[in-house]
Structure formats: C-alpha cells, structure tokens
A = this chain, B = another copy of it.
C-alpha cells in the first residue's frame, strides 16, 4: 500500500456519491425504524403503506415504478404486510394482475403511526439540517 494509492483511496471515499448516499440512507432509515419499531412496522413497510394509501388502489407494478423497487421485492414485502393484515388484494379482469389496497387495520395503522413519522421527520431534520433543502432536489417520481 503506497502512500499514493492510500491518498487516492481517500479521495474516492470523499468524492463517491454512493459512499455518502448509502451512509446517509442507513443513518436516516435508522431514525425512522426506531420510531416505527413500537408498532412492529419497518421503514420499508411504511413506504409501501403510504404509497398504497396515496393511490387508493394500486397494482404492484405501479409501486415498482413509483418506488424504484424490484418487482420481487414488492411481491415479498407486500406478502408480509398481507400476513400482518394491513393489505388486501382484489382480482383484476386481466388475470395476471391484481390490485392492492389497505385493509381497515392498515388504514388504522397509518393513522396510528403518523405521529411517530412526524417525530422521525423532526429527528432527521434536526440531525441533518441539509435534508430539508436537499429533499427538493431529490426527484420524487
């Protein structure tokens, strides 16, 4: 390990978008996970819960696009949320598809965790002052 290559590695670590973004993602996700834990909810599941609620009724395919998740990830995460009684499916004329919606329990959960979400938002904004301005630059769709 020459001094040169060590310095080069330092530069990469400092400049790399992925290194910083992944670290920030772990830290921020942790704040939300801490707040959601008492409800038996994870941040990934909360994302899906909110997205389904926002659509009313929605196909998995749509969630894949909205959240940039792999279809198999959606498939399996939804499966857990169904087992927890938060999500229900309804058939579609096109038998390949089906639609997802929140159950009453799912809607009640969303109501119930909203204050925890607000606290997590504050945690994040307090710890990472730049998030508030940064958020506008993160594309949503």
Report chain B residues within 8 Å CB of A134: 130, 134, 137-138
- Chain B nearest CB, measured from A112 CB (Å): 12
Could you say how many copies of this chain the assembly holds?
2
Residue of B nearest to A9 (CB): B53
Contact of A12 among B69, B107, B114, B135 (CB under 8 A): B114
Report chain B residues within 8 Å CB of A19: 47, 50-51, 67
Majority-rule SS of A interface residues? helix
Given contacts A19-B67, A23-B67, 16 further A-B contacts (CB under 8 A): A5-B107, A8-B114, A9-B110, A12-B117, A13-B54, A16-B50, A18-B32, A18-B43, A18-B120, A19-B47, A20-B138, A21-B24, A22-B25, A26-B67, A128-B139, A130-B137
